[in-house]
Amino acid sequence: MSMTNTAWRQGQQSKAARLGRASHLVGGNSGKVVKAEQTVALLESVIQPGDRVCLEGNNQKQADFLAQCLAKVNPQQVHDLHLLQSVVALPEHTALFDKGIAKEIDFSFSGPQGARLANLVAAGKIKINAIHTYLELFGRYFVDLTPNVALIAAEAADAQGNLYTGPNTEDTPAIVEAAAFKNGIVIVQVNEIRDTLPRVDVPADWVDFVIHAPRPNYIEPLFTRDPAQISEIQVLMAMMVIKGIYAEYGVKRLNHGIGFDTAAIELLLPTYGEQLGLKGKICTNWALNPHPALIPAIEAGFVQSVHSFGSELGMEKYIAARPDVFFTGNDGSMRSNRAFCQAAGHYACDLFIGSTLQIDTYGNSSTATKGRIAGFGGAPNMGADARGRRHESEAWVKAGREAQANPKHMPRGRKLVVQMVETFREHMAPAFVERLDAWDLADSMGLNNPPVMIFGDDVTHIVTEEGIANLLLCRSEEEREQAIRGVAGYTEVGMARDKKKVEELRARGVIKRAEDLGIARRDATRDLLAAKTVKDLVRASGGLYNPPSRFRNW
């Protein structure tokens, strides 16, 4: 047959037309390099009104130069874009909506811009289609939200357009894969153009345009926690977690959320964990960013492997010197991958532990607060039982057994999902509430479901300075509620407890106080921390960790 059905190739034709419009802007041997000062012109040439544009940016790496250029395009020419983003983090991101360049968005998280997003919604300048988890959003890139144009960031490109994404590879592979194989245009900002790359993370034929940005892309050192700020109460809670949960279930594969609470656990492994004889028995394999606070545990031989969502500023040399632990390329530098690490955290870990702003009496937790539209990034995937999981482990089987109320039911393992909070945060804000702020936020945003980070039925343990509530062992809604109230301290939720019922639960081991675990509160001092300062972390790393300036006092 000689007939060709052009109707099947509209995407290719569209891409060819766009590339044609930009042909006068390119130079270099590969015909892919565009000068930084022509970036706005490039974007105006290849982006069409109404396009789905994926702008790379998460809570760490940002394609910030491309974001700034996109905010400078002529809104008469480029408008009504549908933005796809992991994290709305920069002022330029929200400026796109102020200027009418973009009109709708699908995203995962909006930390620092949460209040501005809420204002834009109120002003009718933005349409938020949905807030996802990272994995959900990546998934939709391959189903119904495939980008027409992807604007990404890499460490370096070579003359052909091959990319080296360095330790902070993060979201790049997922985004490029979706765009490049569905007629999308891939534009990358790089920090430098080199003759040869240390390794190729993205092959040149997936990349259409390369721009040498005037400044290195921004990276937020989000996972660095200064041990100097860890309190004795956090040390106490960390001791309870190690003895009452990690040792109890033999938790080997896990993920930690960000925060001082979890940093305290990491810093107690080589001291308290070692004293309890737990080396090799807990915390051996991690889905985790390279937390500087994990250095002492790694050095003490606690840790066998760490796969990471992204990297962490200052950890590069240390990671390169510990290839047995971290995932590194032949060049020696780390390769992170947010999509794979999220999948690992969801399916291959036995435990997630993290903190939150509010927990209700059902165990639902949320970081959503009034006046801010924030989303939850990866936490909902980490902090959810993996219903598709089939492989067994000691921790998973034991948790499942504890949850099984009726021996006739089909046995099924459970992921341990732990919420770790002090009963009051700073300024006496209670962590336990009768009703989550998320309800009001849902009303104001017109959502059917309040934005819950981790649903109560996924939570297995709640840890506070008052003790551990094991929700797996609760056999009724009423028991669950009293177990939660029983560790909620002097919050209103805690003071409304049924004291008798709480003592019953304690007798059954559903609630465990520090003393029930054989932990003396007076032993919970900062002297237990394997590092008490950032400088201690540097020393523990043998001088390989090079913390960003803002974390130094030397």
Partner 1 sequence: MANSFLEASARERVQAVCDEGSFQEILKPSDRISSPHMALLEQPVAFDDGVVIGRATLGGAPVLVAAQEGEFLGGAIGEVHGAKMTALIAKAVKEKPRAVLLIFESGGVRLHEANAGLIAVSEIMRAVCAARAQGIQFIGLIGGAAGCFGGTGLIARCCDVLIMSEEGRLAMSGPEVIETVYGVEEFDSRDRALVWRVSGGKHRYVMGDIQALVADEVNAFRNAALAALDSGKVGFDLENLETEHAMLTQRLKQFGDCRDAKEIWQRLGLPSAEELALMPADEFVRATSVARDVARGAQ
Partner 2 sequence: MSMEQLKYNLPSKIQQTNRDAVLVGVTASGNCEVLLEKGEDTAHCSVDIQTSARGFGQIWQAVLNDFAERKNAGGLKIEIHDVGATPAVVSLRLDQAIEAWENQHGQ
List residues near partner 1 by CB under 8 A: 228, 526-527, 532-533, 538, 543, 546, 549-554
Dump the DSSP string for 437-473. Answer: THHHHHHHHT-SS---SB-GGG--EEEETTEEEEGGG
Min dist CB 78 to partner 2, Å, is 48
Which among 520, 449, 462 is positioned nearest to 494, based on CA atoms? 462
Dump the DSSP string for 71-99. Answer: TTS-TTTS-SEEEEEEE--SHHHHHHHHT
Min dist CB 293 to partner 1, Å, is 17
Nearer to partner 2 (CB atom), residue 34 or residue 420? 420
Min dist CB 243 to partner 1, Å, is 24
Give me the 493-522 binding string for partner 2, x by CB under 8 A, dash otherwise.
--x-------------------------xx
Q: Give the interface size with partner 2 as a residue count (CB under 8 A).
A: 15
Give which of partner 1, partner 2, none residue 538 binds (C-beta under 5 to 8 Å, depending on kind).
partner 1
Give which of partner 1, partner 2, none residue 233 binds (C-beta under 5 to 8 Å, depending on kind).
partner 2
Nearer to partner 1 (CB atom), residue 406 or residue 553? 553
Give which of partner 2, partner 1, none residue 543 binds (C-beta under 5 to 8 Å, depending on kind).
partner 1
Nearer to partner 1 (CB atom), residue 234 or residue 308? 234
CB 290 within 8 A of CB 323: no
**What is the rounded CA–CA span in Å between residue 393 and residue 493?**
35
Using CB under 8 A, which of 227, 375, 486, 489 touches partner 2?
Answer: 489
Min dist CB 527 to partner 1, Å, is 7
Min dist CB 525 to partner 1, Å, is 8
Min dist CB 507 to partner 1, Å, is 38
Which among 467, 351, 342, 365 is positioned nearest to 398, based on CA atoms? 351
Q: Tokens standing for 286?
A: 């991690």
Give which of partner 2, partner 1, none residue 228 binds (C-beta under 5 to 8 Å, depending on kind).
partner 1
Q: Is position 261 an interface residue for partner 2 (rule: CB under 8 A)? A: no
Residue type, 44: E
Give which of partner 1, partner 2, none residue 554 binds (C-beta under 5 to 8 Å, depending on kind).
partner 1
Give which of partner 2, partner 1, none residue 4 binds (C-beta under 5 to 8 Å, depending on kind).
none
Region from 63-71, 436-444, 487-495, 499-507 binding partner 2, contact rule CB under 8 A: 487-495
Nearer to partner 2 (CB atom), residue 123 or residue 495? 495
Min dist CB 463 to partner 2, Å, is 13
**What is the rounded CA–CA span in Å between residue 177 and residue 8?**
21
**What is the rounded CA–CA span in Å between residue 463 and residue 352?**
13
Give which of partner 2, partner 1, none residue 489 binds (C-beta under 5 to 8 Å, depending on kind).
partner 2
Binders of partner 2 among 211-250, rule CB under 8 A?
A: 232-233
Angle at 96 between CA 92 and CA 98, to 5 degrees: 105
Q: Is position 1 an interface residue for partner 2 (rule: CB under 8 A)? A: no
CB 422 within 8 A of CB 412: no
**What is the rounded CA–CA span in Å between residue 526 and residue 191?**
41
**What is the rounded CA–CA span in Å between residue 547 and residue 144?**
41
Nearer to partner 1 (CB atom), residue 31 or residue 543? 543
Min dist CB 429 to partner 2, Å, is 9
Residue found by looking up tokens 């905010």 in the block: 71
Q: Tokens standing for 522?
A: 């007076």
**What is the rounded CA–CA span in Å between residue 548 and residue 314?**
6
- CA-based radius of gyration for the chain: 25
Exposure of 7 by Cβ count < 10 A (0-12 exposed, 13-18 middle, 19+ buried)?
exposed
φ, ψ dihedrals at 176, nearest 5°: -65, -40
* DSSP code at position 283: S
Interface residues with partner 2 (CB under 8 A) are 232-233, 422-428, 465, 489-490, 495, 521-522
